[in-house]
């Protein structure tokens, strides 16, 4: 089984994620590390077994993040990188990844559930569209059969069980497993594993970022002291907000 | 003049509150309801609502819905398609973006037709976003818009359903049914969290009863998890889970920053603590200085009465 | 009845960190030279070895596939590095001679001007800079930032840096150090193996260089096991510091003495503060206090907060924003507390771990670098054919004694101890020593173990400022500002007695800048339970000086410093 795991190198939380005032995007000039959510996808691929290739789009420095996946046990790393790609949004990223994935011809493509820095992006759905293959997201349990996969998908309403034929794209949630710590041998061997860099054509982004501003104040905060009627006042407050 | 289409997600015969909020937000927006036997759901929304009713659309899977909406955009000339955040909506929107080459902005808390606003970096900054593509896609953050009850007759039209081969490859084997136990912390709309102020591990029952009454989940601070009062899986905070429910009720929680960063994105925060100087009062919407042992049981009772359960 | 921390020793013994190799040969990791600690000493050693490997590839072959491995317990090199710091470039010049110029290194600035201030609650009196403290020609640096750069240099030079890797025990076989064993990862609070449990590994190395920094875990085990400890006990100071973005650049390096410390002899409050410009837009401010203090209510973190409220200092930080916070101990025993020897079979010891710090000058980084360089050279010689390892490694001892490190430390050897007699007498004695370049008073004044100081309690805590979240901060939000996001569900790494007299528990609670200790329930006979929040720990090491023992938690835990 050949699995491609799409990962993202994100600014390390400790370095302090900050917006860059001039580009109005996340300042990515510091240390990059493997997005936490992607570790679950790498772990899942390793548990399934077979050949695991990690794929990422990012600046050259992103190769350090790929190394962590190699240290965990992935076999090969592919970085899609070019100056043109800086500032790509969902469209450009999905295109570039889909192109690189096509070259690999995998049976299964895995994603982590969201990007640790941007939140909310469902890249997998866009990639699945480009590849014209089925996609299942929010998977908290994955079973791989010969030519199909069955995933337990976590939604607001409970769990759906969905099956799709391979090749398929699956985005795993952080409930699916506990990522392994890379062993020392793994860390030291990572450098020797094959890593290649590909270019890709840029795609015009469909979105722009215009302004940064401080967050809106939470709104009027009310503080009361209990005089015996606190419970009633709370219910009133919740009712006004249609929360009860 | 923008022509806007709103994806109306529905569950068990009713349109989701989030979708209604988005529909109400944009003047003159149309809606689309997609599923099997769903035409009646399109009623009573006071605008043009497309109904894509087909048994192939029964299961709430995203890819066939991309086909339906893409066709509507192509045939009817919609230039803006909006969604309320949900697992399904996010998948549809991203697939649609790739299909149409359309820009997608998510996490929106506001939208004026041209530009949107979205908080980022754990709500520490608000970004104003725009679109450069001919078709604009946007996903509104859960709970960002008021839940609005719309009324008035809908003009319901049937939407054509033409599905790509690959869109129907994924099939629903078993669909989710109503949860017997409460929701998980990650999914819950309401979270009742307990901290050291509860006094003893046994007092977590106060949080549990209130959560049950509200249909929510129970969470805990690092301090009480460290002390063994509640399991680590319930820990919310910097080194636990990050949550952003519609309602977060903090019982006996001081509000140290390690906890705050795990729940500051919650829509509404209610805090009960006997210490008037507790930091949590600086970022709660309703702060109650008082004895939670006296307040919470009464609160639970009142909530049960109000909800009629 | 007066309490001494040493009356309640922690359940710990140095032998716990000594072990025999246990992994099967094919599972152990073989490296040429194993360096523990990616700080200035360890990285200087790695860089020097890289230079030697380049000059002599034949010998380099002997080191094997992984010639040099540097183990770092922090998340990344720099994560656990914290200092002032004003660096004497001497060590760096020798390390990079002919290869890199000082202007190519990431210093934060040059010392342009300096002041020493004696503070009272409301005033600041400029006093002449004591000769030992003159910083002309020195560089200001963020040690964390500099450490990251040194790590990159070490990697380019061929070293393998392994972050998130704890050296848990020293592997000793037939009286020789044969490597280290790394710590397990993925254990739960009760020590149980979690689903992603990864056991540690034996790392086998011909030479092990310990560069662990203050309170070195394996270093103290080695000093005990090989009988290398010096005659006089080591003593420490605790430094707590912050890095601020400021509105107006600071034009000088400032050191202060006096307030908020008390001069009376009974308090034994030795220390002061430093305020350094870090580039044009940042300032670092820190409070350093000897851990031989006796008032159980003393809190160095809170003294730092109090210090910031001084009108002279508040002005510097006005309009600014706190970026980072951190804490670390500094060995202050100096010359008299140095070990008898710095080498043992298969083992070399460097840097702060063995106390190479010049307290009056507040300098240790250049000694760390020089000792690392010398250790590298001795380790290298042990690979040259025909060399007897024993004589070769002990040549490190000779080299250290012939270096500027030794001369400097001997000259100032009694100054710190003088301050045990109070600020004014201490000051006078110190001046005498400076004037005579250490010749008077002759002999070596003994140090007294910090944990043996009798405690008493005053109302000192009542004047700590209430945190306002803008200028002054509480401990928990400060721990957050250290970047600490230690995994909670792991075994407790702090060894202390859990039922102690109240005064001792309160001392620990005040002492710890990270709020790890809390006074729990009293049990009716004068003792209380000590409650712990180990994941707050920023691994400063203060507890080890004052009655407990810090052992390294799981690799990657602790602070994630970037600009300290």
* Subunits with 3+ C-beta pairs closer than 8 A to A: B, C
Q: Which fold has domain A2-198?
A: Rossmann fold (3.40.50)
Is C58 in contact with A180 (CB distance < 8 Å)? no
Number of structural domains (chain C) is 1
- How many domains are there within chain B? 2
pLDDT of A137: 94
Nearest residue to C375 via CA among C405, C335, C332, C336? C405
Mean pLDDT over each residue of chain B, to the nearest integer: 91
Chains contacting C (3+ CB pairs below 8 angstroms): A, B
- Please indicate, yes or no, whether residues B241 and B128 belong to a single structural domain of this protein: no
Burial of B124 (0-12, 13-18, 19+ CB in 10 A): middle
Find the domain containing B235 and state its range. Answer: 190-307
Does residue C115 lie in a domain region?
A: yes
Tens-digit pLDDT profile for residues B133-174: 999 999 998 767 776 778 889 899 999 999 999 999 999 999
The pLDDT tens digits for C126-153 are 988 887 778 888 999 999 999 999 999 9
Say if B240 is an interface residue toward chain C (CB within 8 Å).
Answer: yes
pLDDT for res A23: 65
The whole-angstrom distance between C514's CA and the closest CA on chain B is 13
Question: Quick check: B302 and A26 CB within 8 A?
Answer: no
B288 and B216 belong to one structural domain: yes
Searching chain B, which residue's CA lies closest to the CA of residue A213?
B126
Q: What is the pLDDT of residue C423?
A: 62
The pairing of strands B103-108 and B190-194 is unpaired
Give chain C positions within 8 Å (CB) of B261: 480
pLDDT at position A18, please?
Answer: 62
- pLDDT, tens digit (0-9, with 9 covering 90-100), for C75-89: 999 999 999 999 999
Asked whether residue C434 is assigned to any structural domain, the reply reads: yes
Structural contact between residues C282 and C244, judged by C-beta atoms closer than 8 angstroms? yes
Backbone phi, then psi, for B61, in 5-degree steps?
Answer: -110, 145
Alpha-carbon distance C89 to C86, whole Å?
Answer: 9
- Residue range C45-73, pLDDT digits in tens: 999 999 999 999 999 999 999 999 999 99
Residue B282: count other Cβ atoms within 10 Å of its Cβ. Answer: 15
CATH code for the domain in which residue C361 is found: 3.50.50.60
Q: Label residue C332 by pLDDT band (50, 70, 90).
A: very high
- Pair (B11, B156) in one structural domain: yes
Of A90, A165, A219, the CB nearest to B104: A90
Q: According to the 3-state scheme, what is the secondary structure of A141-207? A: EEEECCCEEEEEEEECCEEEEEEEECCEEEEECCCCCCCCCCCHHHHHHHCCCCEEEECCCCCCCCE
pLDDT tier, C113 (very low <50, low <70, confident <90, very high otherwise):
very high
Find which of B195, B225, B233, B238 to mutate to test the C interface (most C CBs within 10 Å of its CB): B238
Helix residue spans in A8-122 (DSSP H): 36-48, 63-72, 90-104
Q: Which residue has the higher pLDDT, B191 or A31?
A: B191
Q: What is the mean pLDDT of residues B177-186?
A: 69
Q: What is the pLDDT of residue B179?
A: 58
Closest CA to C292 of C361, C352, C220, C237: C237
Q: What is the CATH number of the domain that holds B239?
A: 3.40.50.1220
Whether residue B46 contacts residue B53, with contact meaning beta carbons closer than 8 Å, is answered with no
Highest mean predicted confidence (pLDDT) among A205-219, C29-43, C106-120, C424-438: C29-43
From chain A, pick out residues whose CB is under 8 angstroms from the CB of B102. 91, 206
B54 to chain A, closest Cα gap in Å: 19
Q: Is residue C231 part of a domain?
A: yes
Q: What is the pLDDT of residues C470-506, one digit of tens each?
A: 999 999 999 999 999 999 999 999 999 999 999 999 9
Contact of A212 with chain C, judged by CB distance below 8 Å, is answered with: no
More confident residue, C137 or C270: C270
Task: Report the distance separating Cα C337 and Cα C358, nearest Å.
Answer: 12
Distance CA B208, CA C296 (A): 41
Task: Choose from C68, C184, C185, C553 for mutation: most chain A CBs within 10 A.
Answer: C185
Same domain, B198 and B49: no
ipTM: 0.89
Residue C553 sits at φ, ψ, to 5 deg, of: -75, -170
Nearest residue of C to residue B236, measured between CA atoms: C488
Taking residues C171-195, report their average pLDDT: 96
pLDDT of residue A179: 94
d(CA B245, CA B218): 12
Cβ A135–B63 below 8 Å, yes or no? yes
Name the pTM for this structure: 0.91
In this structure, is residue C388 part of a structural domain? yes
- What is the pLDDT, as a whole number, of residue C115? 93
Q: Which two tokens stand for residue B97?
A: 């973006």
What does pLDDT average to in each consecutive run of 10 residues of chain A (244 residues)?
Answer: 93 62 63 86 97 93 89 96 82 93 97 68 91 95 95 86 97 92 92 91 84 78 92 93 83
pLDDT digits (tens, 9 = 90+) for C208-229: 999 999 999 999 999 999 999 9
**Cα(C413)–Cα(C438) distance, integer angstroms:** 7
Q: Are strands A108-111 and A135-144 parallel, antiparallel or unpaired?
A: unpaired
Name the nearest CA neighbour of C370 among C382, C343, C352. C352
CB atoms < 10 A from the CB of C1, how many? Answer: 5
Q: Which two tokens stand for residue C25?
A: 């040969």
Nearest neighbour of A129 by CB, restricted to B66, B178, B284: B66
* Tokens linked to B91: 């998948």
Closest-approach residue (CA) in chain A for C485: A14
Mark yes or no for CB contact A225/B126 under 8 Å: no
Asked if B233 has any chain C CB less than 8 Å from its own CB, the reply is: no
Decide if C485 and A14 are in contact by the 8 Å CB cutoff.
yes
Same domain as B211, residue B142 = no
What SS3 class is residue A67?
helix
Residue C265: Cβ within 10 Å count: 15
pLDDT at B227: 87
pLDDT tier at B10 (50, 70, 90 boundaries)? Answer: very high
B207 and B155 in a common domain: no
Same domain, B129 and B219: no
- Measure CB to CB from residue C477 to each of B232, B239, B257 and give the nearest one: B257
- The domain ranges of chain A are 2-198
Does residue C511 fall inside a structural domain? no
- Interface touch C477/B232, C-beta < 8 Å: no
Domain-located, residue B177: no
What's the token pair of residue A8? 């993202």
Q: Which of C90, C74, C343, C325 is nearest to C213 (CA)?
A: C74
Range of the domain at C140: 28-186+197-440+455-463
B65-74, C299-308, C416-425: which has the minimum mean pLDDT?
A: C416-425
């Amino acid at each position: 089984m050949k699995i491609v795991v799409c990962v993202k190198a994100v600014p390390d939380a400790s370095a302090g994620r900050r917006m860059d005032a001039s580009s109005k995007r996340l300042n990515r000039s510091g240390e990059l590390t493997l997005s936490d959510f992607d570790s679950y996808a790498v772990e899942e691929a390793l548990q399934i077994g077979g050949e695991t290739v990690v794929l990422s789009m990012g600046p050259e420095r992103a190769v350090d993040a790929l190394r962590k996946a190699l240290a965990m046990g992935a076999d090969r790393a592919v970085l899609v990188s070019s100056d043109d790609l800086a500032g790509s949004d969902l469209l450009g990223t999905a295109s570039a990844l889909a192109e690189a994935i096509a070259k690999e011809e995998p049976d299964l493509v895995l994603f982590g559930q969201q990007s640790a820095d941007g939140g909310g992006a469902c890249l997998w759905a866009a990639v699945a569209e480009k590849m014209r293959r089925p996609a299942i997201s929010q998977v908290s349990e994955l079973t791989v059969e010969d030519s199909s996969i069955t995933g337990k998908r976590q939604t607001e309403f409970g769990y759906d069980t969905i099956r799709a034929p391979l090749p398929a794209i699956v985005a795993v949630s952080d409930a699916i497993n506990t990522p392994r710590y890379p062993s020392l041998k793994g860390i030291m061997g990572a450098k020797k594993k094959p890593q290649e860099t590909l270019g890709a054509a840029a795609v015009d982004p469909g979105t722009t970022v215009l302004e940064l501003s401080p967050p809106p104040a939470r709104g009027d905060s009310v503080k009361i002291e209990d005089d015996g009627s606190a419970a009633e006042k709370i219910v009133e407050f919740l009712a006004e907000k249609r929360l009860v | 003049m923008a022509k806007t289409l709103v994806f109306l997600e529905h569950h068990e015969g009713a349109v989701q509150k989030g979708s209604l909020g988005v529909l109400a937000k944009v003047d003159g927006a149309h809606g689309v309801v997609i599923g099997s036997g769903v035409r009646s759901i399109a009623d009573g929304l006071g605008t043009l609502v497309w109904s894509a009713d087909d048994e192939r659309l029964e299961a709430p899977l995203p890819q066939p819905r991309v086909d339906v909406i893409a066709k509507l955009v192509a045939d009817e000339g919609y230039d803006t398609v909006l969604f309320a955040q949900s697992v399904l909506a996010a998948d549809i929107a991203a697939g649609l973006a790739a299909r149409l080459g359309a820009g997608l902005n998510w996490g929106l808390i506001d939208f004026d037709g041209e530009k949107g606003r979205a908080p980022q970096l754990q709500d520490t900054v608000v970004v104003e976003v725009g679109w450069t593509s001919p078709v604009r896609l946007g996903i509104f953050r859960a709970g960002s818009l008021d839940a609005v009850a719309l009324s008035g007759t809908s003009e319901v039209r049937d939407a054509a359903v033409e599905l790509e081969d690959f869109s129907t490859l994924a099939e629903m084997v078993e669909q989710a049914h109503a949860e017997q136990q409460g929701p998980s912390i990650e999914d819950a709309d309401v979270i009742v969290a307990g901290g050291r102020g509860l006094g003893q591990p046994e007092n977590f029952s106060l949080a549990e009863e209130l959560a049950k009454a509200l249909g929510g989940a129970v969470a805990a601070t690092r301090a009480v998890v460290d002390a063994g009062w509640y399991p680590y899986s319930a820990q919310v905070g910097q080194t636990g889970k990050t949550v952003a429910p519609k309602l977060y009720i903090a019982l006996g929680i001081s509000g140290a920053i390690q906890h705050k960063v795990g729940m500051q994105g919650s829509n509404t925060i209610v805090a009960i603590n006997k210490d008037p100087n507790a930091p949590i009062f600086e970022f709660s919407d309703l702060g109650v200085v008082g004895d939670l042992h006296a307040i919470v049981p009464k609160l639970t009772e009142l909530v049960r009465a109000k909800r009629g359960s | 009845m007066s309490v001494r921390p040493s009356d309640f020793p922690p359940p710990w013994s140095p032998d716990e960190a000594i072990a025999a190799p246990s992994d099967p040969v094919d599972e152990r990791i073989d490296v040429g030279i194993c360096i523990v600690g990616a700080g200035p000493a360890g990285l200087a050693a790695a860089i020097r070895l890289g230079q030697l490997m380049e000059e002599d590839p034949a010998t380099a072959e002997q080191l094997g596939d992984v010639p040099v491995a540097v183990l770092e317990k922090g998340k990344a090199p720099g994560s656990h590095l914290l200092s002032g710091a004003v660096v004497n470039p001497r060590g760096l010049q020798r390390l990079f001679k002919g290869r890199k110029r000082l202007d190519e290194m990431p210093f934060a600035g040059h010392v342009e001007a300096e002041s020493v201030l004696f503070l009272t609650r409301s005033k600041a009196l400029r006093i002449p800079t004591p000769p030992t403290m003159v910083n002309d020609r020195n560089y200001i640096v963020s040690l964390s930032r500099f450490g990251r750069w040194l790590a990159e240099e070490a990697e380019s030079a061929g070293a393998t840096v392994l972050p998130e890797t704890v050296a848990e025990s020293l592997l000793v076989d037939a009286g020789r150090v044969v490597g280290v064993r790394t710590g397990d990862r993925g254990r739960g609070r009760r020590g149980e193996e979690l689903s992603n449990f990864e056991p540690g590994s034996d790392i086998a190395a011909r030479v092990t260089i310990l560069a662990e920094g203050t309170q070195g875990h394996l270093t103290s085990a080695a000093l005990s096991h090989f009988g290398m400890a010096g005659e006089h006990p080591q003593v420490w100071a605790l430094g707590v510091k912050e890095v601020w973005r400021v509105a107006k650049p600071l034009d000088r390096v400032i050191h202060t003495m006096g307030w908020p410390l008390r001069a009376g002899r009974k308090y034994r409050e030795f220390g002061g503060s430093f305020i350094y410009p870090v580039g044009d837009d940042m300032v670092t401010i820190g409070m350093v206090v000897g851990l031989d203090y006796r008032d159980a209510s003393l809190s160095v973190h809170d003294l730092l907060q109090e210090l910031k409220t001084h009108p002279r200092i508040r002005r510097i930080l006005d309009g600014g924003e706190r970026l980072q916070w951190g804490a670390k101990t500094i060995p202050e025993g100096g010359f008299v507390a140095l070990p008898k020897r710095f080498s043992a079979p298969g083992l070399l010891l460097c840097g702060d771990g063995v106390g190479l710090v010049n307290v009056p000058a507040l300098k240790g980084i250049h000694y760390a670098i020089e000792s690392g360089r010398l250790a590298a050279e001795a380790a290298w010689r042990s690979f040259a054919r025909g060399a007897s390892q024993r004589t070769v490694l002990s040549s490190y001892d000779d080299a250290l004694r012939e270096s500027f490190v030794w001369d400097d430390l001997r000259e100032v050897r009694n100054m710190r101890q003088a301050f045990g007699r109070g600020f004014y007498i201490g000051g006078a004695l110190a001046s005498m020593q400076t004037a005579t370049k250490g010749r008077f008073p002759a002999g070596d004044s003994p140090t007294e173990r910090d944990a043996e100081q009798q405690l008493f309690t005053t109302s000192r805590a009542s004047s700590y400022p209430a945190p306002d979240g803008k200028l002054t901060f509480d401990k928990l939000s400060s721990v957050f500002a250290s970047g600490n996001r230690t995994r909670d569900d792991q075994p407790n790494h702090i060894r202390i007695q859990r039922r102690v007299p109240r005064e001792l528990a309160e001392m620990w609670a005040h002492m710890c800048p990270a709020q790890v200790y809390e006074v729990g329930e009293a049990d009716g006979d004068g003792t209380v339970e000590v409650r712990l929040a180990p994941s707050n720990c920023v691994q400063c090491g203060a507890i080890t000086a004052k009655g407990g023992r810090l052992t390294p938690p799981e690799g990657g835990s602790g602070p994630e410093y970037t600009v300290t």
